[in-house]
Copies of this chain bind each other. A is one copy, B any other.
């Protein structure tokens, strides 16, 4: 059950649950996985930037992979394997696939600058992990400071049959989706799946530009699922109504640094994880911030009963 270019829907970026003392909370992994499945996600992505992956020992990473894959059953699991060196990328990729993952996700290293450097980097990455592993190309310039033009994305896709999905989180990015889909229409690029990140901040219009869904970690994946489905069934106004009701919180959660703390705080409130603790070094919400999130939830609950916590 490997990831392929027809993937669509919502792949939630999963948090990694910890106990307040910093130990990995293995029980919460199951609970959280169940929560995501009940939200209707079509896939899960683990060990991403928001998954505190860098704080995990290699064995812990494999524990997370194994536990999530097993619990998720038929729901495909993508593993973030970005690393400063190809040795670590290769090791985690092979181990993840052996454990039953559906594919891996690879981001460029921040030092890349020219078009050729970017294209070459992904060629080296594919050589390192092996061309039999389906992978997601992560395009996230805001954090990674690497800018890929649509033409560079096309070249990578054409170079590597194993690249089956674009995780789109350029910013701004709506025209980029149109450009990439335009390449498919004019026959210069084979079709791929496009799932959008950036906390979902533009999901309403991203779907209208041709995205297949979302890959992000907003604490209401069920809203993302609904918006994707409403858009796919042509219920545009309804999609925007629901999206707009969530937008104040989506925006709050999308702040770098504070975002993960907000996300875990809401996930805990929703019962998905036992504690909102981050492993050190991490950020905790201040009392003022918690009160702001609570206020946003209470306002949201007027439109979406799932926010009554």
Q: Measuring CB to CB, which residues of chain A are less than 8 angstroms from any residue of chain B?
A: 53-58, 60, 83-88, 91, 110, 113-117, 120, 124, 127, 146-149, 151-152, 171-172, 174-175, 178, 201-202, 204-205, 208-209, 240, 244, 247-248, 251, 255-259, 280-281, 286, 288-289, 292, 299
Residues of A contacting B: mostly: helix
Alpha-carbon distance A255/B116, docked complex (angstroms): 21
Residues of B with C-beta under 8 A to A149: 114-116
Alpha-carbon distance A120/B120, docked complex (angstroms): 23
Residues of B with C-beta under 8 A to A124: 280-281
Inter-subunit contact B257/A91 (CB<8 Å): no
- Please name the residue on chain B nearest to A82 by beta carbon: B84
Alpha-carbon distance A258/B175, docked complex (angstroms): 10
Residues of B with C-beta under 8 A to A257: 172
- Please name the residue on chain B nearest to A172 by beta carbon: B255
Inter-subunit contact B86/A84 (CB<8 Å): no
Inter-subunit contact A91/B57 (CB<8 Å): yes
Asked whether A87 and B286 contact (CB < 8 A) given A116-B149, A172-B255, A280-B124, the answer is no
Asked whether A86 and B56 contact (CB < 8 A) given A147-B113, A151-B116, A286-B175, the answer is no
Residues of B with C-beta under 8 A to A60: 87
Alpha-carbon distance A244/B243, docked complex (angstroms): 12
Inter-subunit contact A288/B174 (CB<8 Å): yes
Inter-subunit contact B147/A54 (CB<8 Å): no
Inter-subunit contact B248/A85 (CB<8 Å): no
Asked whether A178 and B288 contact (CB < 8 A) given A247-B251, A280-B124, the answer is yes
Inter-subunit contact A299/B240 (CB<8 Å): yes
Residues of B with C-beta under 8 A to A91: 57-58
CB distance from A147 to the nearest CB of B (A): 4
Alpha-carbon distance A184/B149, docked complex (angstroms): 28
Inter-subunit contact B113/A113 (CB<8 Å): yes
Residues of B with C-beta under 8 A to A286: 175, 178
Alpha-carbon distance A88/B91, docked complex (angstroms): 14
Alpha-carbon distance A247/B85, docked complex (angstroms): 32
Residue of A116, A120, A146, A259 with most partner-chain B CB within 10 A: A116
CB distance from A306 to the nearest CB of B (A): 18
Q: Which single member of B127, B152, B251 contacts A114 (CB below 8 Å)?
A: B152
Inter-subunit contact A171/B280 (CB<8 Å): no
Alpha-carbon distance A292/B207, docked complex (angstroms): 12
